[in-house]
């Protein structure tokens, strides 16, 4: 995990959503994008090594139990999961399949106030249609407001503090774009691991354990251990190659999950979205996230919302157990002004296309600027594929968890590439045609030291 061509943007660029797209001078109608219709995919070749038939007695029994737990509409989704190979996929950390984990959700106790059938349905929908994953918060119903305000004010009786807390939770804009993008990526690329997470986070344990390789974090084992300690991840080193980590949401996430389970409105997060995104925010923000007000603390960012690129890269590396590198393409000065690029357009394009041709999704952070190149907003989305139109123009197929569209969208490469601030790429691709700086571990230490001294 290396940050390439890191610049001063590290100290002030938080990967948070655009608070108001209208205020940022951008509306969905103004963006040159197309909602997915009929895309002739170029990358992400279909995996033919899939199973679509129940072959063992155990599989048939589990499938039967699931059908008995689902309504008519959800049974069709379950059948779709089987026919497309999703249900029997077992590319998870412990080799459990989607079927195994859905069965656990249906038949074993869930965390307090979480309903087995609703959790089962939400999880099934997520892995069969990851584009339904969203970062949009729901409101706090009146019946929960006293409890939420008590938690935010530490049971204060001060009327001003309580009123400020009430205002704070009203119409929140979600800063979970990185977490939601990682959730989408996990559901789309590793549905068995996704359902394993969903089962663990909704269980009485309220957590999931995962074995990760140290070299997914750093080539040096001691540096990998330093990273786990710095991000305050509970772990047990099994040997010099692997560690077992414990991943969990903040405790307030379960209030959010209960609300979304029982009071979810159209286009809002599901209870699984609430728990998964809280977990990922917690991992990246050094266990400092609060789901009730979408605020974070931690040592690596001076902002109280969103995640910075280093935190995003650490999150992606831990959750997917792979060596991801954060490549920074834009040069931004201390005044949040775009002053240039670390490499040329064609290099960025070739790195993105090569990554997609390997079947990898790419989580990117992009910026929006005004007429003076001043950054007025930033957001995180996922590039999942690419295509060319009849005139040979290149388009990137993307997922945006904050666009009110439960489908892929297409952006012209000429529009998107100049806006990309950073991208998570495989190490060998990231190092092509780019000047290498010190490792991201060094930059985090240097950044934290400078911030502490300020």
pLDDT in tens, 439-448: 455 555 565 5
The pLDDT value given to residue 302 = 86
Res 27 pLDDT > 70: no
Residue 411 inside a domain? The answer is yes
308 confidence band (pLDDT: 50, 70, 90)? confident
Task: Report the SS3 class of residue 361.
Answer: coil
Any domain includes 95: no
Residue 277 lies in a domain: no
The answer to the question of residue 109 being in a domain is no
pLDDT given at position 15: 39
pLDDT of 5: 35
Distance, CA of 401 to CA of 236 (rounded, Å): 33
Query: Residue 422: which H helix or E strand, with range?
Result: strand 420-426
Q: Please, which pLDDT band fits residue 33 given cuts at 50, 70 and 90?
A: low
pLDDT at 84 (0 to 100): 97
What 8-state DSSP symbol labels residue 56? S
Total tally of structural domains belonging to the chain:
1
- Which domain covers residue 23, as residue numbers? 3-46+307-453
Residue 385 lies in a domain: yes
13 or 84, which is more confident = 84
Whether 244 has a pLDDT exceeding 90, the answer reads yes
pLDDT single digits (tens) 51-107: 999 999 999 999 999 999 999 999 999 999 999 999 999 999 999 999 999 999 999
Torsion of CA 367, 373, 375, 377, to 10 degrees: -50
Q: Which stretch of 21-30, 103-112, 361-370 has the lowest confidence by average pLDDT?
A: 21-30
Which pairing describes strands 338-341 and 394-399: parallel, antiparallel, or unpaired? unpaired
pLDDT of 431 above 50: yes
Q: What is the pLDDT of residue 447?
A: 54
Span of 49-63, 70-84, 196-210, 216-230 with lowest mean pLDDT: 216-230
Q: Note the pLDDT of residue 85.
A: 97
Residue 327 has pLDDT above 60, yes or no: yes
Give the pLDDT score at 220: 87
Q: What pLDDT does residue 31 have?
A: 56
Give the pLDDT confidence score for residue 128 in this predicted structure. Answer: 97
CA 359/CA 124 separation, integer angstroms: 23
The Cβ-side half-sphere exposure at 357, using a 13 Å CA radius, reads 7
Is residue 141 in some structural domain? no
116-125 mean pLDDT: 98
Q: Would you say residue 449 lies in a domain? A: yes
C-alpha to C-alpha distance for 189 and 177, rounded to whole angstroms: 18
pLDDT of residue 13: 35
For the chain, give the percent of residues with pLDDT over 70.
84
> Domain for residue 217, yes or no?
no
What is the spatial distance between Cα 144 and Cα 293, in angstroms, rounded to a whole number? Answer: 14
The pLDDT of residue 438: 39
């Amino acid at each position: 995990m290396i940050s390439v061509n890191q610049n001063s943007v590290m100290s002030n660029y938080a990967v948070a959503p655009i608070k108001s797209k209208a205020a940022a001078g951008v509306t969905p109608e103004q963006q040159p994008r197309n909602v997915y219709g009929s895309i002739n995919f170029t990358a992400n070749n279909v995996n033919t090594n899939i199973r679509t038939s129940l072959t063992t007695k155990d599989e048939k029994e589990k499938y039967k139990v699931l059908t008995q737990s689902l309504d008519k509409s959800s049974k069709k989704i379950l059948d779709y999961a089987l026919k497309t190979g999703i249900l029997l996929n077992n590319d998870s950390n412990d080799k459990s399949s989607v079927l195994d984990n859905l069965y656990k959700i249906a038949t074993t106790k869930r965390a307090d106030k979480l309903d087995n059938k609703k959790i089962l349905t939400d999880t099934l929908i997520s892995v069969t249609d990851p584009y339904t994953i969203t970062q949009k918060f729901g409101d706090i119903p009146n019946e929960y407001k006293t409890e939420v305000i008590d938690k935010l004010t530490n049971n204060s009786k001060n009327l001003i503090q309580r009123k400020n807390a009430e205002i704070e939770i009203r119409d929140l804009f979600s800063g979970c774009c990185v977490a939601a993008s990682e959730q989408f990526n996990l559901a789309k690329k590793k549905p068995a691991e996704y359902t394993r997470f969903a089962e663990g986070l909704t269980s009485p344990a309220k957590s999931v354990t995962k074995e990760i390789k140290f070299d997914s974090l750093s080539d040096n084992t001691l540096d990998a251990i330093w990273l786990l300690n710095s991000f305050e991840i509970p772990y047990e080193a099994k040997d010099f190659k692997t560690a077992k980590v414990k991943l969990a949401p903040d405790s307030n996430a379960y209030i959010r999950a209960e609300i979304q389970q029982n009071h979810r409105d159209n286009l809002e997060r599901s209870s699984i979205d609430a728990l998964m995104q809280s977990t990922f925010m917690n991992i990246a923000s050094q266990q400092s996230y609060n789901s009730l007000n979408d605020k974070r603390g931690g040592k690596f960012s001076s902002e109280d919302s969103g995640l910075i690129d280093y935190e995003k890269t650490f999150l992606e590396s831990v959750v997917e157990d792979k060596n991801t590198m954060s490549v920074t393409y834009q040069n931004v000065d201390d005044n949040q002004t775009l002053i240039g690029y670390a490499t040329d357009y064609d290099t960025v394009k070739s790195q993105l296309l090569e990554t997609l041709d390997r079947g990898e999704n790419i989580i990117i952070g992009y910026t929006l600027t005004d007429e003076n190149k001043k950054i007025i907003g930033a957001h995180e989305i996922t590039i999942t594929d690419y295509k060319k139109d009849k005139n040979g123009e290149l388009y990137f197929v993307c997922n945006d968890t904050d666009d009110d569209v439960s489908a892929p969208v297409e952006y012209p490469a000429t529009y998107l590439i100049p806006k990309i601030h950073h991208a998570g790429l495989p190490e060998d691709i990231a190092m092509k045609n780019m000047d290498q700086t010190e490792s991201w571990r060094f930059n985090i230490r240097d950044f934290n030291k400078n911030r502490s001294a300020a």
